[in-house]
Amino acid sequence: MPGWLRPRAGQCHHHRAGNARSAAGHEARRGGWARNTTRMIAQGGVAWRIEVHATLPSTSDIVMGAAEAGAEEGLAVLAYVQTKGRGSRGRNWDSPSGNCFVSVLLRPGGQITAAGAWPLIAALAVADAVLPLLPDPARLSLKWPNDVLLGDKKLGGILIDLAADSAGRLRWLVIGCGVNLAIAPTLPDRMAACLRDEGVDSPPPQLFARSLLASLGKWYMKWQEGELAWIHASWLARAHPIGTRLHVRYAGHDLHGHFAGLSPDGHLLLRITDGIQTISSGEVMLAVS
């Protein structure tokens, strides 16, 4: 199973744990949403039920628990601070107040073998929410399987959790999105960006989440209508160009090659010296020139 599936312009500020709760309280009031409340919105064809919390260990863990308890799709959980946020490949996700941390529950059905579409769908939704805010939209790009970049820095990430029945049919799917609005956290292996770095007056997390959910609902409808080719083409239009040099850590090996597109299942195609390698799981980095 793919590893991403789990069965300064001087304006960005580093996170200080000591003031996280008070900052979260401020964010919970900013934009008019009280903490620990539920809001109902119908956007993008989905009746979203948004739970807002000042602090949670992990929004995805909360939504997965609700999924196992039988919650209907459309549940979205937003936290102003996560204390045990998760990133891809088991990494911790630094989750300071001021950024957007939201996880949603969908029950799309279909086979688990088709799950490669969901990181693409989620990335497109994040891009749709971010692009209108940027003074230079061309700086935004998508990197397989789950990164949203500004230039060569990470603006956001996506984590997919899912469960399937014995026949391999999806029972539920949880999409976790983390987007750096006001703060660029320190990452161990790459540089991070935030919207405030771009001179953007970063929106309150709950307002950004509304835009994100509206876009996610739109792309979910495209998937339901069988528009997988359109989803792939839209993702490729926002990804780094075909031919971009990539370094991939895959199945215990380091591969170097050039981006050659997506497979029908949404996997990465890497052109190497002896042909095209299909990558279903791995850590992908833009090669240093």
The secondary structure of 181-218 as a DSSP string is SS-----SSS-B--GGGGT--PPPHHHHHHHHHHHHHH
Q: What are phi and psi of 70, to 5 degrees?
A: 100, 15
CA dihedral for 172, 46, 48, 204, sign (positive or negative): positive
Q: Are 230 and 237 in contact (CB under 8 A)?
A: no
- What is the C-alpha to C-alpha distance for residues 78 and 59, in angstroms, rounded to an integer? 7
* pLDDT per position as a tens digit, 215-251: 999 999 999 999 999 999 999 999 999 999 999 987 7
* pLDDT per position as a tens digit, 201-218: 989 999 999 999 999 999
Q: Check whether 4 has a pLDDT greater than 90.
A: no
Cα of first residue to Cα of last residue in the chain, in angstroms, is 31
The CA distances from residue 72 to 38, 49, 77, in Å, are 15, 10, 13
Question: How high is the pLDDT of residue 91?
Answer: 58
Show Cβ contacts of residue 226 under 8 Å, excluding neighbours closer than 6 positions.
none
Q: Average per-residue pLDDT in the chain? A: 85
Q: Are 84 and 50 in contact (CB under 8 A)?
A: no
265: left (phi over 0), alpha (psi -120 to 50) or beta: alpha
Show Cβ contacts of residue 216 under 8 Å, excluding neighbours closer than 6 positions.
44, 46, 104, 121, 122, 125, 175
Q: What are phi and psi of 10, to 5 degrees?
A: 75, 10
Question: How high is the pLDDT of residue 278?
Answer: 94
110's tokens: 């279909």
- Domains of the chain (ranges, CATH numbers): 17-238 (3.30.930.10), 245-286 (2.30.30)
